[in-house]
Amino acid sequence: MEPLDAADPRFAGAGEEPPPLRRRELVRSRGPDPSPFDPRARILRVALPAVFFAGAAAVVAVFFAGLDPGSGRQVVGREDAVRAAVIGRPRRVCYEGAQPCAWLTVVGDRLVAFNTNGPLPQEYGRQGIGWCPSSGGFGANATGSRFDAAGNVVRGPAPRGLDRFTVLRDDGGMLRIDFFSLTAGLQAEQVSTVVPPAGPHCPTIPFDRDADLRL
């Protein structure tokens, strides 16, 4: 159906005298939305993509920051101070205050950093492998595994001894633990001799409230 136009003589309401001619233009309907020439619409066309790309960049930055594991090396302190701190008992050092953690102790004349995560999945965490003050050895309450002062397994079910992190010393005498460099412990059948315990083994290794190394 064609639209009614008052200037059309077919329109029933047209008078006998036609109205004056006027210039008419047909324009495309823009619908109920704001005009694209409205300044607010222009601002939105720029602002919305900018917000989207800024959010995407932030997500990418957070993602790659989470993938960066860091150097893996934790400064412990001067070697003489560390030796003095662990001469009576092992001390725990954790990478950036979290996992992984190491028991820093002296074996023979060497500073050794044993992993506090045992060989079995149940022996995981800061308290996965504890230190028994009566025997001078290590053990896991979760499984009953026991290890001597040198980290060798003396009683299963652990299949091997404690893993070791690499201990580094620079020219200035500062010690660092490389938590990204790990050496697996010896398998139980590879151990020919163990360090004799200093006393009775702990049936249950007590919770250690003073384990962390503080220099």
User: What is the value of pTM for the model shown?
Assistant: 0.67
96 in the same domain as 122: yes
Number of domains in the chain: 2
β-sheet with 91-94: strand ranges across = 73-78, 174-183, 164-169, 110-115, 101-107, 91-94
* 2 belongs to a structural domain: no
Amino acid at 23: R
Specify if 197 maps to a domain: no
Q: In 96-180, which ranges are continuous DSSP H helix?
A: none
Same domain, 86 and 51: no
The token duo for 43 is 């601002």
- Both 64 and 77 in a single domain? no
- Regarding whether 60 and 166 lie in a shared domain, the answer is no
**pLDDT score for 99:** 83
Residue 170 lies in a domain: yes
* Domain membership of residue 78 as a residue range: 73-190
pLDDT at 23: 74
Mean per-residue pLDDT pooled into runs of 10, the chain (215 residues): 57 58 68 64 74 77 57 88 93 90 93 95 90 95 95 93 94 91 92 91 89 88
Same domain, yes or no, for 125 and 154?
yes
CA distance 171 to 72: 20
The Cα–Cα gap between 68 and 194 comes to 40
Do 146 and 133 touch, CB atoms closer than 8 A? no
